[in-house]
Amino acid sequence: MAGVLGTSIKRREDPALITGRGKYTDDLLVEGMAHAAIVRSPYAHARIRGIDTSAAKTYPGVVAVLTARDVAAAGIPGMVPVGWLLPDLKTPAHPMIAADTVRHVGDAVAVVVAEDRYVARDAAERVAVDYEPLDAVADVVAALEDGAPAVHDDAPGNVAFDWEIGEKDPVDAAFAQAAHTVELDLRNNRLIPHAIEPRAALASYDSSTGVMTIHMTSQNPHVHRLLMTLASLGMPEHKVRIVAPEVGGGFGSKIHHYADEAIVGLCSLKLDRPVKWTATRTETNLTDAHGRDHSTHCAMAFDGDGRITGLRVDTKAAMGAYLSTFAPAVPTYLYGTLMSGQYDIPAIHCHVTGVFTHTAPVDAYRGAGRPEATFVVERLMHLAGEATGLGPIEVRKRNFVPADAFPYQTQVALAYDSGNYGPAMDRALEMIGYDDLCREQASRRGNGNGNGRRQMGIGFSSYIEACGLAPSAVVGSLGAQAGQWESADVRVHPTGSVTVYTGSSSHGQGHETTFSQIVADRLGVAPEAVEVIHGDTDLVQFGMGTYGSRSAAVGGSAIAGSVDKIIEKGKKIAAHLLEAAAEDLEYEDGSFRVAGSPDRALGLGDVALQAYLAHNYPDDLEPGLSATTFYDPANFTYPFGTHVCVVEVDTETGSIELLRYAAVDDVGNVINPMIVDGQLHGGLAQGIGQALWENAVYDDSGQLVSGSLMDYALPKIHNLIPFELDRTTTPCPHNPLGVKGVGEAGAIASPPAVVNAVVDALKPFGVTHIDMPLTPEKVWRAVNAD
Amino acid sequence: MYPAQFDYRRAGSVDEALGLLQEHEDAKLMAGGHSLIPMMKLRLAQPPVVIDIGRLDELKGISEAGGGVRVGALTTHADIAASDILAASCPVLAEAAGHIGDAQVRNRGTIGGNIAHADPGSDLPPVLVLLGASVHLQSPSGARSVAAADFFQDLLMTDVGEDEILTHVDVPARNAGAGAAYLKFEHPASGYAVVGAAASVTVQHGRCTAAGLVVGGVGAVPTAVDVSSLIGADLSDDAIATAASGLDTEDPLGDIFASGDYRVHVGKVYGKRALAAARDRA
Ligand SMILES: Cc1cc2nc3c(=O)[nH]c(=O)nc-3n(C[C@H](O)[C@H](O)[C@H](O)COP(=O)(O)OP(=O)(O)OC[C@H]3O[C@@H](n4cnc5c(N)ncnc54)[C@H](O)[C@@H]3O)c2cc1C
């Protein structure tokens, strides 16, 4: 249907969700269902001397209490695997249930199954675990020091991996000859994902068929099935069905395969009855894979004209107690490879040490590596504006990869397919009214009394994103244990309506709406005539899921591919019926037409019906009108943009107020502007949250101090301001839709924009850096530091 | 989150509630439940019996009494924030109640529960101390009242006895020419006050005749600041700043968001700003 692509049609998902009719995992009730409560370590590091389950087992209403012994007795692999291998990666065992040692607060030591969830909790408190507490280390820097407590005996020095990209010697040479250099020591703060819906699983094993069905909070059911069967439960894949019903957000945290869902599976297997577990908020905070947690030294070198000549980055990246599913990829191939940003940098070297700590694992969280890289590059560019005297705009423009230099090969593996960076920045400057802001800032700076207390700052972030990790052969050569394509099965029914089966399993993004728009546009049907099915391994052939801003670019392209195949086949059928040559047929607005004879036409429904009747049909054609595509992209896609943040800082208290936030993003062709804006709003809230409020803090003994929402500050609506959004459009040249991706852009771009703005406001006080989150106390101390 | 097992009893009258308290050891009264239930869900509180007093109408409402205002213990923050009586005679209490949590919290939470719970980040305690309010308590052996300044004893500790129910709070009439203000430095996660400064200034015939400043959040209980230097003074910004800088707490509270030193600093700044706002309203 013409005009449906690029239109803000309303999300078809919303009526059910906003009237409370969406069915999430915890809403599902199954006959005979029991409830699990997982007993977790209160210590960051301890030896388990013994577990006495007798009081729990005899507690009224308890069905069973299982420990590591039961995992062993079940004869299953019982492990939680890592899905991305780097050279020389240390892969210490991660048992589903800790057998002799716990390695972070929240590590599972036992599970209680009871007739109701209250009883399960009560009984869980009666499992007596005899712990011998051991020294722990929670900090990524401290974990590398001599004599630090070892997280794993088979990972000496707590080093999980030592990785580098780029060439060191040219960088050293660039620094030796530099006219200007800037450098920074920074911490990228640890974040807790906080999907609104906590993780949950309902496992139903049926011994009469040998089939296990697990409904769970998953961003990628097929990946979960693979890891669950291979490493944890040891069941054959065809006997396991994973279903993701409504999933209330994930931000990456529901990509990973955790111990908990496997434990629930084991309970059901052993008891031959359905078992449900829903994490409490406290449990998700202790066990969901966290994000970020880097300690970084970085420096940039410039020639006399302010052109970048070299970039040097050395990062210690926390892995937590165990390697989570994609953890090793995040601070390496999703981080080091992004170090060129929007700039033409002739020499880059990035060294990363992956570090075990006695904390929750760290893995992909909205942006995954790319926010950390963007923070490094854009903080350095801010400092460079000062050091070179060019200011934040000119120093960036002078170094942008020129529009005529694409495709552009960076020094860190990625080849940017397309881009046009100047116009996005110009538009952002225009929107924000940069010159007026500078005048306002100058007047506040000049004013020593009264108003001088409230300083104003303007911060920029010109970011690059790489979405839709691809192609499979390349990511495989980099260590991925999975492909990075996506599948789509598009079926046209005999009446001409359409069902799409996609491997991109949505967890709130609105795939059902946008994917229906893709089909509607390409096939010339109404969006309402398209049903989109996802999130069930029994219904969808195979799929890689939703993460890394990949669904439109990879999942959408797979759908487009199937639609194209259907049109091709439909032309053959129509040609037969219209007694024309297939080459002479055109497809437009839902009709097959003979070129030049507009009255010789057949609608999609007519052709579809004939395809299923196959009475009057080409001899060499199979009946039916459906097509499957496994789309493996040729490259990543590279969205980009410039964001500008304006803040006011109360220098007396250190409080920060957001005044303006303008973002110009280029995400390629846009399918649904409202959904794109929504993704940006959410991403911006998360990125601003990281910059100003959010912080996962462990104390020296490895206790999570910010384990509840009373201490962990998520952004709330009254903390934020209306965002001013606009776009430029540079279509992706290598996928059929020209789309790039938008899921993470806001979270990637915004932290440095905010921090740069605050540092800019505090320039009169000589402040050059404050680590995130910029709490009032930190800002106040920076203002008052000698 | 799942609390431990407990019994639930609903009281139909204050007397019945007092009887139930006698009957059940370690029982807890529940008003709005907005402090008690979170503690129970975290299993930090595991009372065997919860006595619901939420429907005791006799403890609800705002009325003029003895020249001042009487606020029933079960009056919600929302009702306090919207009260015409308070708007006329004690707007600073309404102002502070309007800063509490969000709409749901204000619709459930009560003044009695708020001060009986005595969280150091609560908004109402410093205001009640500033206003010289009295807290009224009832037990089987009779009724008594205690000055708000003496009511708060330590972190989460008050003068409410095990067998007592807080029935109401009396706020004295305000002076003619008095202005008061409550300023809150909000915790970004909990929404409670990191620092809450309640100040009042009375100006008669162009002269300051009375001034008060009480700061919450800095110490375990509301901290009164001696601002008597303002009496008779010109109430200039400088004089106010000097007076507010007298804030002193031996052992200030601190957490990962705000250290003790910083809280004291913010207490002084907010104290100064609250005094200035009170002056402007006087
Ligand atoms: C999300 C959230 C945000 C909040 N934000 C703020 C905030 O910004 N500022 C703020 O000040 N508060 C805040 N609160 C607390 C809120 O004000 C509570 O309502 C208040 O602290 C307790 O009142 P309640 O009626 O709910 O008491 P309950 O929870 O029912 O009781 C609290 C305690 O007081 C006792 N108690 C209650 N009534 C009586 C009585 N009449 N006599 C004797 N003992 C009694 C109970 O036994 C219990 O120990 C917040 C609470 C929540 C849940």
- Please state the ipTM of this predicted complex: 0.96
**Separation CA A712–CA A694 (nearest Å):** 6
CA angle A77–A82–A84, rounded 5-degree value: 140
Which is nearest to B163 in space by CA: B200, B182, B138?
B138
Cβ neighbours of A668 (radius 10 Å): 26
B98 lines ligand 1 (CB under 6 A): no
Q: How far lies A461's CA from each of A251, A392, A464, in Å?
A: 22, 9, 10
A540 and A522 within one domain: yes
**Separation CA B238–CA B158 (nearest Å):** 36
In a domain, A664, yes or no: yes
> What pLDDT score does B205 carry?
87
CATH architecture of B7-52: 2-Layer Sandwich (3.30)
User: In Å, how far is B71's CA from the nearest CA of chain A?
Assistant: 29
| Chain A residues 91-150 with CB within 8 Å of chain B | 117-118, 121-122, 125
**Separation CA A194–CA A183 (nearest Å):** 33
Cβ neighbours of A105 (radius 10 Å): 26
Burial classification of residue A624, based on how many CB atoms lie within 10 Å of its CB (0-12 exposed, 13-18 middle, 19 or more buried): middle
Q: How far is CA B172 from the centre of its chain?
A: 15
Residue found under tokens 């932290």: A751
A647 and A517 within one domain: no
Q: Which of B5, B189, B259 lies nearest to residue A712, judging by beta carbons?
A: B189
**Separation CA A556–CA A558 (nearest Å):** 5
A672 and A570 within one domain: no
Q: Where in chain B do CATH 3.30.43.10 domains reside? A: 7-52
Q: Which residues pair with A184 in a beta bridge?
A: A298
B96 lines ligand 1 (CB under 6 A): no
B165 lines ligand 1 (CB under 6 A): yes
**Separation CA A626–CA B102 (nearest Å):** 52
Q: Which region, left, alpha or beta, applies to residue A566 given φ > 0 means left and ψ of -120 to 50 means alpha?
A: alpha
What is the tally of structural domains in chain A?
3
Q: What is the CATH number of domain B178-281?
A: 3.30.390.50
Which is nearest to A240 in space by CA: A219, A220, A260, A221?
A221
A512 and A611 within one domain: yes
Q: Are strands B28-30 and B49-52 parallel, antiparallel or unpaired?
A: parallel
In a domain, A478, yes or no: no
Low-confidence ranges of chain A (pLDDT < 70): 447-451
Q: Give the DSSP H or E segment for A18.
A: helix A14-18
What's chain A's Rg over C-alpha atoms?
27
User: In Å, how far is A118's CA from the nearest CA of chain B?
Assistant: 6
A572 and A646 within one domain: no
Q: Where in chain B do CATH 3.30.390.50 domains reside? A: 178-281
Q: Which of B2, B4, B190 lies nearest to residue A710, judging by beta carbons?
A: B190
Task: Flag if B2 and A281 touch (Cβ within 8 Å).
Answer: no
Q: Which two tokens stand for residue A375?
A: 């923070």
For A268, what's the count of Cα atoms within 13 Å in the CB-facing half-sphere? 31
Q: Cβ contacts of residue A597 below 8 Å, gap of 6+?
A: none
Read off the pLDDT of residues A332-362 as tens digits, 9 standing for 90 and up.
999 999 999 999 999 999 999 999 999 999 9
Topology at the third CATH level for domain B57-172: 3.30.465
Among A631, A649, A670, the domain-final residue is: A631
User: In Å, how far is A34's CA from the nearest CA of chain B?
Assistant: 16
B201 lines ligand 1 (CB under 6 A): no
Cα–ligand 1 centroid distance for B193 (angstroms): 14
B138 lines ligand 1 (CB under 6 A): no
Q: How many residues does chain B have?
A: 282
Nearest CA to ligand 1 atom 21: B114
Nearest CA to ligand 1 atom 39: B113
**N-terminal to C-terminal alpha carbon distance within chain A:** 65
DSSP state of A74: T
Q: Which two tokens stand for residue A53?
A: 């389950």
In a domain, A189, yes or no: no
Chain B residues whose beta carbon lies within 8 Å of the beta carbon of residue A710: 189-190
Q: Which two tokens stand for residue A108?
A: 């599972």
Burial classification of residue A613, based on how many CB atoms lie within 10 Å of its CB (0-12 exposed, 13-18 middle, 19 or more buried): exposed
A528 and A449 within one domain: no
Find which of B257, B269, B270, B272 to mutate to test the A interface (most A CBs within 10 Å of its CB): B257
A620 and A546 within one domain: yes
SS (H, E, C) A117-156: HHHHHHHHCCCEEEEEECCCCCCCCHHHCCCCCCCCCCCH
Which residues of B sit within 8 Å Cβ distance of A? 1-5, 42-43, 185, 187-190, 255-259, 262, 265-266, 269-270
**Separation CA A569–CA A587 (nearest Å):** 11
Contacts by A585-588, CB closer than 8 A, 24 or more apart: A587/A524, A588/A524
A105 and A213 within one domain: yes
A243 and A107 within one domain: yes
A681 and A568 within one domain: no
Among A287, A311, A336, the domain-final residue is: A287
What's chain B's Rg over C-alpha atoms?
19
**Separation CA A692–CA A686 (nearest Å):** 10
Low-confidence ranges of chain B (pLDDT < 50): none
Task: Flag if B188 and A706 touch (Cβ within 8 Å).
Answer: no
A622 and A642 within one domain: no
- Across the beta sheet with A591-594, what order do the strands follow? A585-588, A591-594, A597-603
Task: Flag if A777 and B258 touch (Cβ within 8 Å).
Answer: yes
| Chain A residues 664-723 with CB within 8 Å of chain B | 692-693, 695, 697, 705-706, 708-714, 719
Q: Which of A122, A709, A775 lies nearest to residue B4, judging by beta carbons?
A: A122
A117 lies in which domain range?
14-134+196-249+254-287
Share of chain B above pLDDT 90, in %: 93
Q: Among B10, B30, B167, name the best residue to mutate to test ligand 1's pocket (greatest count of ligand atoms within 8 A of Cβ).
A: B30
**A–B interface: beta-carbon pairs under 8 A:** 61
In a domain, A92, yes or no: yes
In a domain, A439, yes or no: yes
Among A587, A613, A631, the domain-final residue is: A631
Q: Give the DSSP H or E segment for A221.
A: helix A221-227
Q: Cβ contacts of residue B8 below 8 Å, gap of 6+?
A: B49, B50, B52
Torsion of CA A724, A728, A734, A740, to 10 degrees: 0
Find which of A710, A712, A772 to mutate to test the B interface (most B CBs within 10 Å of its CB): A710
A733 and A642 within one domain: yes
Task: Flag if A118 and B5 touch (Cβ within 8 Å).
Answer: yes
Q: Give the DSSP H or E segment for B16.
A: helix B14-23
